[in-house]
Every structure is written in C-alpha cells, then in structure tokens.
Chain A
Amino acid sequence: MAIKRRATTFLALSMTTALLVAGCGGGGEDEAPAESELYKNPVTLTWWHNASQDGPGKTYWEKVAKDFSALHPTVTIEIEGIETNQLQRTRLPAALLSNDPPDIFQAWGGGEIREQVEADYLKDITDQVKDEVANIGSAVEIWQVDGKQYGLPYRMGIEGIWYNKDLFQQAGITAPPTTFDELNDAVTKLKAINVIPIAVGAGDKWPAAHWWYNFALRACSVETLRKASLENVFDDQCFVKAGQDLKAFIDTEPFQPNFIATPGQNDPTSANGLLANGKAAMELMGDWNKGTLDTVTEDQEALNKFIGWFPVPAITGSAGDPKAALGGGDGFACAKNAPAECVEFLKYIVSPEVQKGYAETGTGLPVAKGAEDGVKDPALKSILEATTSATYVQLWLDTAFGSTVGNAMNDAIVAIFAGNGTPEQVVEAMKAAARK
C-alpha cells in the first residue's frame, strides 16, 4: 500500500483526479465492506455512460447523480459521457483490462456481457436486485449469464417501422401493413406517387443488417435463435432462408437509390433525414428513433404530426413466431471490485421514479413498471404497447452473437445489399468468425 500511495501522489501531479480517486478507492478493495457498512465511509463512484452529446439524456444523468449524492452524502459520483463506439470498442475494453476500471458503466448485454463475465470483470448482483428484476420483467434476461444477474437495463424497446402517415394517405394506403404481402403492396403504391418507399442507412451496415435479423426472426424458431446466441451454432437452414427472403425483398427495389452509401442517422443526407423531411415513407428503426429524427428534421411540427410506428409485418406461413420482435436496450453494470454503493446506485437508476423521469426526456423507453406515465409521445406509446405484448423479444443479433460474429454477419449482409453476396456466404462468414 505504501508504494501504491506514493505512486499515486507522484502521478497526481500530472494526471486527472479520476486516477487519484481510483487509487484511493483501491484501498477498500481488500476489505469488501459488509452490507451494514453501506454509506459509512465516503466513496467515489466513477460512472461511464454513452450520453456524450449535450441534450436531455446527458442532463438527466447529471441530475440523477446529484440527487443520489443528496440522498447519500457519503457518495460522490464522477461522470464521464463517452460516444458509444469509442466507449464500447476502445475505452471500456482497455479500462477493464487495466486494474482501474470505472465502477459503473454502460452494458449492452448479450454476447458481450457473457465474455465480460467469463473474464471475471463484473459484480454478481443477483441477490441484491431481486425486487428490481421482478419489477422490470423478462427484459433483464439480456443482462444475465447462466441465470445470474450482472447488470440492469434502464432502456428497452423493440424495433418496428417508422412511417409517414401523410404519404401513406396520399398513396391510398388505408392501414399499416401487417404482413409482408401488404408491405409489398404499400411499396408499389408509394412508388406510384414518386416517393422513396423505404429509407435504409446501409452505409452504416447495421441498419441494413436489421432487415436480415427480422427475416431470420420470422424464419427461425425461438429455440434455434437461443441456441445460436449461447453456442454460436448456425447450422439451421433458417439462416440461409433469411438471406433468400431478404434478397427477394431487395429485388422489389423498396429502398432509395445508392443506399449502400447512405448513413443511418445524424445528417440530412442520412436515411433518418429522408424520413424526417418527407422524402421517404418508411424506415426500420428502434425506439430511440424519435430523438434522432428530431435532430435532422427541417420542420419539427410537421414531423410530430406525420410520424407513426407499426410493428415489423409477419410473413405468412413462416416458422417463426409472428408476435416475436427484435429489440435491445441499454443498461449498466458494476465492476467486480466496485464498492457496494455501486449496486445501490444501479438500483436507484432503475427505480420507478427515476425511470419515469428518464421516460420524460423522450430519449428512450423505460423498463420499470410504474414509469409508463412518463411516455408522452404517441409513436413511443405504441412501441411501449407492442413491447409489452410481444411474446418473445430477441436481442439484436449482432449484440446477441457478440462483436466478432456480429461484425462478420453485418458485413456479409451488406454484401447482399450491394449485390455481390449470397445468403450462403452470410452463414459461412458467421461460422468462420465464430472460430476467429
């Protein structure tokens, strides 16, 4: 300890306070305070989340941290908001490899949390969060590994098709499609009035890949998908079928021209921009889309009026459950050696009041029961209803299968979109990546 303390003093001259604090926090690790010692000693929690841009999300987390410190004066919370890709791909893996990870940090669940648990990075919180788990429901399974709880979600939603009600009306489409045949009909009608039927941000890969995920969800049984997530086994023919269905769908030319270079969100030329500004009629996207559409629209009022949402249509006669949906969420987990206060803070984040406040920011759908009233937007309300009534929520396949398989899968799906890949190659790429 003496050496450590001296080193800390030395480094403090040039490094940030975060390091200093972590050095001091290191002292408590060996003792592992018992439950009764909660809030006895001053602790500092470092919190890494992905609300890096100024806006309601970031502001809300600042308020949550401040409120928690007010309730428990012994706890100081130091926040760092980091852009998602940077956080997930570089900062967090590197920090977890070191002896000095943040105490509480963004966790996306699925294959990634499984790898993190295998490396012994995370705190097992099963016993402390039983009430919260009961209140959130089946969504928590995404943050479980072998039946144990390692993190909790604060946002969860299924994806569906965001659409322009005005354009649908002009094209003479009376009701949102419920089957793919009806969707194909709608595409034809929309082409007749010269608008882009569906915008897809294939340039960013994942918005295109999600179309394949939905075909896989329709073609594969729940059992096959579970097995694929747990063991990375992709032998079932349904994965090839997904690619074939996708190819047939792309051949009907429902998307904007040159979609391979269209970004997903964040600028007016993106798929988001096309929908938000009335140039395209539909877009497949998750529950966060309202927030991202808001940032690229030229006319906020018009957008609020015309935007609607319906679930991904079913495929008549397919093997999958037509009421199953693809979804995903955001959660937080505590580092293995984080102080016990970390779990208390996590519980606070998912408590109904805090969740209600989160819902009111409009940045995503809450998970806790009792927070539903916070959802005001009509489109978000319909997603919330669909999420609750879905028989099974499959986590985004790239998250479920882990980054390595997920990335190879997305690349191969994009090749189908570009016209130089085959349905078989997607499955081959997934199998090859599982071995890498």
Chain B
Amino acid sequence: MTSTNPTLDLAGGASAPPAGPRPARRSSARAAETRRKWYEIIGLTTPAVIVYVMFVLVPMGFAFYYSLFRWRGVGPPTDYVGFDNYVLAFQDPIFIDALRNNAIIVFGSLLIQGPIALGVALLLNRNFRGRTLFRLLAFVPYVLAEVTVGIMWKLLLSDAGTVNAMLESLGLGSLVQAWLADLDIVIWTMLAVLTWKYVGFAIILLLAGLSNVPQELNEAAAIDGASWWQIQRHVTLPLLGPTIRIWMFLSMIGSLQVFDVIWVTSVPAVRSLGASATMATYMVDNGFFARLWGYGNAVAVILFAISFVAAVLFQRFLLRRDIEGAITRRAN
C-alpha cells in the first residue's frame, strides 16, 4: 500500500492543473490498476504467509529461544545457560560422528546416485519396448513409504537375512557381513539403502529434464555426423545442466536432514554408538529420549544453520546461472 500512495498524490495534487484532465485520468487508472494488483498480491499470499509464519518462523524462533536453556521439558524453561548447549554438542564425540555420517551421505549420494541416474535416464529416454515398465520400476522405491523401506531392508540385511543367504548361494560367502551390526560397515549399508530409495527420484527428474531438450538439436547434430555418445556429451548434457543442479541441491538438503530410513533400519544401540547416527536422529535421541529439550533444540538450530549455509552457498555459486533470469528481470 505504501508504494502506491506517493503515485496517487503526485497525480491528483501538484501535476493536475497544468497537464489537463487526460493524463490525470490515465494515471489514476494506472493507480487503480496498481492498487488492484496489490490487493491481489495481499489476498493471495496472506493465507500462505500466515501459515508460514505460524508453523515455520515462529517455531524456529522458539527453537532458538529454548536452545539457550538447560531444560528437561518439565515446567517452563528457567535455567538460562547461554550458548552452553552448542558448546556441549560440539564436545560430544557422538555428535561429531553424526556430522561425519551426514557428510558421507551428502557426498556419497551425489557421487553414486548422480552417475547412475544419468545413465539410466539417458537409456530410458531412448525408444524401446517396455520403456514405460522400466520407468515405473525405477521409480517404485521412491514412492514406497520410508518406514516400509526401512523395515524391509532391516529384515533383508539381518544376519540370517536374504542378502547374506543370496551371497552364500552365489558362492560369495566371503562377502557375507553383519550389515547392520558391524560398526564400521553400517553407515555404508545406510548409504546403499538410501541410494536404492532415492535414485528413482533423480532418474525421474532427469527424464523430465531430458524431455525439455529439443529434438531438433539432436537431429541437427546427427546430420552433422555426431555419434550418439557425442550428441549426449555435447548437446544433451549441457542442456540438462539446470536439472542436474536442482537435483544436486535437493539431494544435498535431503541428505543433511535424513532421518526416517536410518531411524527405522538401524537399531538404537548402533545409533547411540555413533556408527549410524545423523544429526536428525541424534537430535531426537537426545531431545526426546534423554529428555534434554534445551539441548535437543540447540542441535536442531545447528542442523538448520548447516543446511541454511549449505543452501545459500549452493545457490550463490552453482545455481546462480539458473536463477539469474528471474532476479535480473526484476532489478531492471
């Protein structure tokens, strides 16, 4: 509203007498137009803004406030300790383990899922019989509920489970492992389960990106004598850049906040020893199970800060080209 008022005053006040009626009417029409636009903006965004403020910003503020207290969730928080909870977190070797595990999952997901998804997407983008079926199969794990996936893998990977039995019958008995019990292996097991679960999402995103690559460019390249591989490398891949970067962004944020699959697949003891803990499981284990509500909130704020910084850096350096258009247009 404030931005429309000055325009109104200028039109109706000082400039009216010399300029005559016509421009005044036109500018008041424009003002009405502006006002209508603002009503639209306010009317359409208010519900979303209210929900966002109530359920995102306000709880975030509370989380930060509570994180400054030594508070076990009984009675209101009174024992103010400043940033002690944050110091405690970084002194806890299990939290450091959780940070390391999150890093493994972030980079592991990018390095493993990326190439797999790209390869499969390029393959599924070609015409062959049963393409739809393969697309569907690639996407199925992503559609399954996290808890279902967790319980399924927990049973498959148990000592007497299917995975070990299959290795045994394939004559690969030497590869049989305590997938969920060996503290050195369990985080890689988790990474494998997460890859299985989320690679379908990357494939679908990349397939959508591929459908936006104009067929003419491929044909033009083919006429110029480029091989299928050369076309993929020099035409398709560069045009797929924005999609790949968006997928990397989503994958990174998801990996930092990963909770449910790990919570269900990996037992409490293995988590509490740090072998499979992530920041999010560490937060719940400490916040609710050890009933350290102030401390749990501090961990939540750290998790938020890390995700936020990672998101901002990613946008600043890797997504800049993709969002440039939107921002520059407005600035001009």
Contact = CB atoms under 8 A, between A and B. Distances in A.
Question: Does A pair with B?
Answer: yes
B286 to A, nearest CB: 8
Given A260-B181, A261-B270, A418-B273, A407 B73 contact: no
B290 A403 contact: yes
A178 to B, nearest CB: 30
Contact of A205 (B73, B160, B272): B272
A137 interface: no
Nearest to B295: A436
A415 B290 contact: no
Contacts, number: 95
Nearest to A115: B74
A418 B288 contact: no
Interface in B267-324: 267-270, 272-273, 285, 288-292, 295
A261 B183 CA distance: 10
A260 B269 contact: yes
A89 interface: yes
Contact of B70 (A402, A403, A415, A436): A436
A119 B75 contact: yes
B41 to A, nearest CB: 27
A407 B289 contact: yes
Contact of A260 (B155, B270, B289): B270
Contact of B290 (A85, A204, A414, A433): A433
Contacts of B290: 403-404, 407-408, 433, 436
A420 B291 contact: no
A202 interface: yes
Most buried by B among A121, A261, A263, A269: A261
Contact of A404 (B159, B178, B292): B292
A255 to B, nearest CB: 12
Contacts of B183: 260, 418, 420
Given A93-B74, A263-B267, A436 B272 contact: no
Contacts of B27: none
A287 interface: no
Given A204-B267, A204-B269, A258 B178 contact: yes
A121 B270 CA distance: 35
B291 A404 contact: yes
Interface string B203-244: 000000000000000000000000000000000000000000
B143 interface: no
A263 B268 CA distance: 9
Contacts of B180: 261
Interface range for B: 20 to 34
B86 to A, nearest CB: 13
Which of B70, B159, B160, B161 has the largest number of chain A CB atoms within 10 A?
B159
Contacts of A208: 269
Interface in A146-181: none
A127 interface: no
A304 B88 CA distance: 50
B7 interface: no
Nearest to A259: B181
B100 interface: no
Interface string B63-83: 000000010111110000000
Interface string A277-306: 000000000000000000000000000000
A410 B290 CA distance: 10
Nearest first, the 5 closest Cβ-Cβ pairs linking A and B are: A203-B267, A261-B181, A119-B75, A407-B290, A258-B181
Interface of B: 70, 72-76, 88, 155, 158-161, 178, 180-183, 267-270, 272-273, 285, 288-292, 295
17 contacts: A89-B288, A97-B76, A119-B75, A120-B75, A203-B269, A208-B269, A259-B181, A260-B270, A260-B273, A261-B180, A261-B181, A263-B267, A404-B72, A411-B273, A415-B273, A436-B70, A436-B88
Given A403-B290, A404-B291, 17 more contacts: A89-B291, A90-B288, A116-B74, A119-B75, A120-B75, A203-B269, A203-B270, A205-B272, A260-B181, A260-B273, A261-B180, A267-B155, A269-B155, A269-B158, A404-B290, A408-B290, A436-B88
